[in-house]
A and B are shown apart, each in its own frame.
Chain A
Amino acid sequence: MIAIYLLSLRQLQGRWRIAALLAVTAVPLVPAIFAVASSDRPTALDLDDGLINGVLASAVLPILTLVAATPVFGNELEDKTLGNLTMTPLKRWRIVAPKLAAAISVAVPLIALSAVVSVLVAFQGAEIDGAGRAAAAAAIGLAIGALLYGTMFAWLGLFTSRALGIGLLYVFIWEGLFGTFVDGLKYLSVRQYSLSIIRQLDPTRFDGSSQTVIGIEAAAVGAGIVLVAFALLTVRRLRSMDVP
Chain B
Amino acid sequence: MNASETVKERTPIIRVDDVSKWFGSVVAVSEVSFDVYPGITGLLGPNGAGKTTLLRMITGLAEVSQGEISVLGGHPRSDPDLYRRIGVMVEHEGSYDFMSGRRFVELTARLHEVDDAAAAATRSIARVNLSDAADRPIRTYSRGMRQRIRLAATFVHEPELLILDEPLNGADPRQRVEFQELLLALADEGRTILISSHVLEEVELLASRVLLVVNGKLAAEGDFHAIRQALDDRPYQVRISCDRPRALAAGLIGLDSVDSVQLDDGTLIVLSSNVGALQAALPRSAAELDVRLTGVEPLDDSLESVFSYLVES
Interface residues, chain A, with chain B CB atoms under 8 Å away? 3-4, 7, 10, 79-81, 83-92, 239-240, 242-243
Determine if B309 is an interface residue (Cβ-Cβ < 8 Å).
no
The interface residues of chain A lying within 8 Å CB-to-CB of B83 are 87-89
In the bound assembly, the distance between CA atoms of A19 and B108 in angstroms comes to 31
Given contacts A10-B98, A80-B94, contact A89 B107 (CB under 8 A): no
| A142 → chain B closest CB, angstroms | 31
In the bound assembly, the distance between CA atoms of A86 and B83 in angstroms comes to 9
The interface residues of chain A lying within 8 Å CB-to-CB of B63 are 240, 242
Determine if B80 is an interface residue (Cβ-Cβ < 8 Å).
yes
B92, A84: Cβ atoms closer than 8 Å = no
In the bound assembly, the distance between CA atoms of A36 and B45 in angstroms comes to 71
B111, A83: Cβ atoms closer than 8 Å = no
6 contacts across the A-B interface (CB closer than 8 A): A79-B94, A84-B96, A88-B83, A89-B82, A89-B113, A90-B113
Among B82-106, those with CB < 8 Å from A are: 82-84, 86, 88, 90, 92-96, 98
Determine if B246 is an interface residue (Cβ-Cβ < 8 Å).
no
In the bound assembly, the distance between CA atoms of A177 and B2 in angstroms comes to 75
In the bound assembly, the distance between CA atoms of A3 and B98 in angstroms comes to 15
What string of 1s and 0s marks CB contacts (under 8 Å) between B245-284 and chain A? 0000000000000000000000000000000000000000
B62, A242: Cβ atoms closer than 8 Å = yes
A90, B80: Cβ atoms closer than 8 Å = yes
Determine if B234 is an interface residue (Cβ-Cβ < 8 Å).
no
| B79 → chain A closest CB, angstroms | 9
Determine if B38 is an interface residue (Cβ-Cβ < 8 Å).
no
Determine if B112 is an interface residue (Cβ-Cβ < 8 Å).
yes
**Contact stretch, chosen from B4-12, B53-61, B295-303:** B53-61
Determine if B81 is an interface residue (Cβ-Cβ < 8 Å).
yes
Interface residues, chain B, with chain A CB atoms under 8 Å away? 56, 59-63, 76-77, 80-84, 86, 88, 90, 92-96, 98, 107-108, 110-113
Total of A-B residue pairs, C-beta within 8 Å: 62
The interface residues of chain A lying within 8 Å CB-to-CB of B110 are 3
The interface residues of chain A lying within 8 Å CB-to-CB of B108 are 84, 88
Inter-chain pairs besides A83-B90, A86-B80, A243-B62, 4 sampled, C-beta below 8 Å? A83-B88, A85-B111, A89-B83, A90-B113
B95, A81: Cβ atoms closer than 8 Å = yes
In the bound assembly, the distance between CA atoms of A102 and B107 in angstroms comes to 17
In the bound assembly, the distance between CA atoms of A85 and B153 in angstroms comes to 12
The interface residues of chain B lying within 8 Å CB-to-CB of A86 are 60-61, 80
Q: Which residue of chain B is the closest to A78 with respect to CB atoms?
A: B94
B107, A87: Cβ atoms closer than 8 Å = no
The interface residues of chain A lying within 8 Å CB-to-CB of B86 are 87
The interface residues of chain B lying within 8 Å CB-to-CB of A90 are 80, 111, 113
In the bound assembly, the distance between CA atoms of A80 and B95 in angstroms comes to 8
B93, A7: Cβ atoms closer than 8 Å = no
Nearest 9 Cβ contacts at the A-B interface: A80-B94, A88-B111, A81-B94, A242-B62, A79-B94, A243-B61, A89-B83, A89-B84, A89-B81
In the bound assembly, the distance between CA atoms of A242 and B52 in angstroms comes to 13
